[in-house]
Amino acid sequence: MTIRQPVAVKVILTEETKQNWLAELRRHINSTIAELEELEFRGKQMLREAEKQGEAAVQAAQQHLENERNQRIARREQLIQQLTQIQQMDLNTEVPNGTLETTADIHIGDSWDKILLGSEIVLKDGIVVEIRRNGIKVE
């Protein structure tokens, strides 16, 4: 029988990988800041239009803008926190980097505990350097 099984992907943190991740986070932070600035600009226009429709429209527009602003501020803070965490990580540390799904053949007599332990793929600078099955390196 064949079953689906998750495979953990881990990355060995090198200077190159660390710098790439930091650069990507900085791009996302800058993009979020630009979105906030655009929201402020559009918000002023939206409020002017809402004023023509009455107080209820103004309140709805203000609430909408506040929600949008809070979402972007929260995203920016989360990105800054991730940036700080990555800056503090030691090189050559294995960092979880997602999960994939694969299939596994199981047979009568197989140890279910070993099947549940799953598999891991370890990357270093985008290259697969190790595959582990049940915590043991596969040759």
Residue 110: pLDDT band (50, 70, 90) is: confident
Q: Which domain holds residue 129?
A: 2-137
Nearest to 72 by CA among 19, 36, 117, 38: 36
- Total domains in the chain come to 1
Report phi then psi at 135, rounded to 5.
Answer: 80, 0
Residue 104: pLDDT band (50, 70, 90) is: confident
DSSP strand pairing (127-133 vs 136-137): antiparallel
Does residue 117 register a pLDDT over 80? Answer: no
The pLDDT, as a whole number, for residue 130 is 94
Q: Is the pTM of this model over 0.85?
A: no
Provide CB contacts within 8 A for 79, sequence distance 6+: 25, 28, 29, 32
Residue 129, CB-side half-sphere exposure with 13 Å CA sphere: 13
The pLDDT, as a whole number, for residue 54 is 87
Provide CB contacts within 8 A for 130, sequence distance 6+: 120, 121, 122, 137
